[in-house]
Structure 1
């Protein structure tokens, strides 16, 4: 596998990042029950989305062939073991492809019905849970974090809004050398949210609140704690009850440990103490918690992309605030409340050891793009998911070429 010779700091291992009553759907925990078949492109229409076209490649054959060639080129160039690409463009058709391998040892092929760890896409769920509390008048975005969580450096001046916008100035715990050593020395370790914050809080804040953008997972850990404090319930339960169920996401879950529904690909990373490539499939994602621990599949991510971009679960006023994206310093990419706008594509990407995803929606064309990979190993300093998304959008939306993640190596 070809990739850069250096190992990225874990500061960039997690990238970019309801007012409805709960509905009766299968809870996330039921995914582990015998006989529950995961949804995918071969189970179209089974999840109540009202869309039967997941299984059909209905794009113009010549266009599909161009996409096949472009994805194959990136996969070979960047050494990506397996990739799933889902593209839905009303009026033009759909394109769903799973290529490469899910397991290097057995050669098992990648399949479109796979579950994957979605990394920082978790941020879209955590912030949606927070914004649902805003709509219920339980919290206000301009409340200081000190109102809810004591001990935050400069917490009286840092607002919930600034945390969600990545403009708090808090030091990212994933940039702490002790954290990186502790995680990579024992990837099965269970971290508590307070332990994670402690790694970051021992450093000075990096800038005054609101002064600039800095992608920081400490922000989302704090927002997760706010959701728990205000509701009196575990974050995973709030997300399940107030976000996943109303959105009909029956194949998305916030794991308690390192559980991983089948089928799933093996994940490969060079985020190791030695820099050697390792299988990270069963690493415990507790270290990412509200910032990046969740799991989903193609079918659910397709649906979620539109929910996030259009604000289905939120009031119009709150959604408008969410979409007020601000400059990040990265060309073509702005950031709002737990989401980004990358050249018109609204959503989030995710990356953690072994897996990368992109889930975005283009309102101007009502198009949805979902990408899932089983590696996070960079190629010439670029995230492999960004390379795939860029290759696809250069062909299908040349006026809106995906600009990439909000953080680089």
Structure 2
């Protein structure tokens, strides 16, 4: 069965199985690059998690990578008082066979939402906006905008049709992946559809919500969202290798990304595709070291007032078993954070408060395997070994 691209392109839609062509296995290697060593809050024993547990993780990761056809993956696991596990395995470039390393920049897809909502919540802390303000107070032309609040947008309960699920959008993007889209252009694809439910009535993952929040941030702050995010989120968090690109820029070194979200359904190199269409819903770039730091910051609310963080963590059912969603953040199996996917790349950045553990995954493919995201398969396998009472058992489709 051939998958229609618009069914997967950043939309919460049924995924059809598809596998990358078989690749030669590359043994897992521990790579301690400058990006990882920069982190200055390391209370994990330097000798790792011990030979037995390390071997189990090595084998589990390699099994998933081979079965799902994942070209390369970076894994970072930190468990204070127990140890750490940092590995890069596979290849960053299938043409040259350049190995994956832990210092690579990667596209992080919908993990962008944690940064966008944090920026929005900084404005809440500044008392410049309120979560229960209607979107119509800031942006004109939103269907049912008088009833849809900023809270509804951040918790994916607005009822706005996701522009990235529109067939015309998928065709236009995939016909010219280098094209630059404005926020208004992508929203128009969604706004031509009837809202799917009344505000607050249900959960539906929609990138339209987060693009609107990006516009709110710009309207209220008077700054471009990338500038505001750098000033109020990235710099205070000491994230020096995280950015919201203006176009197809991609700092070196980075991994090549591989996707089958193409008009033909064939796998293509999507490394230099322009992510402008995803903007504040999914266009950001980061690396292992920064995401390690960010996982704890976003889950514990370091940058926010305690009362604002409490609002963020009020998660509601999603309809996906074991997963609830708050304000730009989810909880699954006790892990708090977000996953991400953009053509060619997937990621997971989560934090387990009960053990103060952090897990970061970075993959250079988004090709699903037997209907499941490859990042979910890896996260489930890893947590099943190291935190069997807290298994990452799935998350909202990150598209």
* Fold conserved between structures, TM > 0.5: yes
Distance of aligned partners of 1:239 and 1:293 in 2 relative to their CA distance in 1, 3 Å threshold: same
Structure 1 residue 74: deviation in Å? Answer: 0.1
1:219 paired to 2:209: yes
1:13 paired to 2:10: yes
Deviations 1:228-258 (A, max 9, x none): 0000110000111100000000010111111
Structure 1 residue aligned with 2:97? 107
RMSD: 1.8
Distance of aligned partners of 1:305 and 1:332 in 2 relative to their CA distance in 1, 3 Å threshold: same
1:309 paired to 2:306: no
SS of corresponding position for 2:116: helix
1:348 paired to 2:338: yes
Distance in 2 between the 1:408 and 1:312 partners? 25
SS of corresponding position for 2:99: coil
Q: Is the 8 A contact 1:44 1:53 kept in 2?
A: no
Alignment gaps of 5+ in structure 2: 14-30
Instruction: For 1:125-144, list aligned pairs within 5 A.
Output: 125-144=115-134
Structure 1 residue 57: deviation in Å? Answer: 5.2
Structure 2 residue aligned with 1:281? 271
1:117 paired to 2:79: no
Distance in 2 between the 1:368 and 1:238 partners? 27
Distance in 1 between the 2:105 and 2:353 partners? 26
1:51 paired to 2:48: no
Structure 1 residue aligned with 2:282? 292
Q: Is the 8 A contact 2:44 2:82 kept in 1?
A: no
Structure 1 residue 60: deviation in Å? Answer: 1.2
TM-score (norm 1): 0.90
SS of corresponding position for 2:93: coil
1:63 paired to 2:53: yes
Deviations 1:306-331 (A, max 9, x none): 00000000000000000000000001
Q: Is the 8 A contact 2:161 2:190 kept in 1?
A: yes
Alignment gaps of 5+ in structure 1: 17-39
SS of corresponding position for 2:338: strand
Distance of aligned partners of 1:403 and 1:193 in 2 relative to their CA distance in 1, 3 Å threshold: same
Q: Is the 8 A contact 2:301 2:309 kept in 1?
A: yes
Distance in 2 between the 1:323 and 1:180 partners? 33
SS of corresponding position for 1:9: helix
Structure 2 residue aligned with 1:148? 138
Deviations 1:101-145 (A, max 9, x none): 111100100001111000000000000000000000000000000
Structure 1 residue aligned with 2:192? 202
Distance of aligned partners of 1:105 and 1:45 in 2 relative to their CA distance in 1, 3 Å threshold: closer
Q: Is the 8 A contact 2:35 2:102 kept in 1?
A: no
TM-score (norm 2): 0.93
Structure 1 residue 44: deviation in Å? Answer: 6.4
Structure 2 residue aligned with 1:401? 391
2:373 to 376, 383, 392: 383
Q: Is the 8 A contact 2:334 2:352 kept in 1?
A: yes
SS of corresponding position for 2:339: strand
Distance in 1 between the 2:40 and 2:118 partners? 20
Distance of aligned partners of 1:14 and 1:268 in 2 relative to their CA distance in 1, 3 Å threshold: farther
Structure 1 residue 91: deviation in Å? Answer: 1.3
Deviations 1:358-393 (A, max 9, x none): 000000010000000000000000000000000000
Structure 1 residue aligned with 2:348? 358
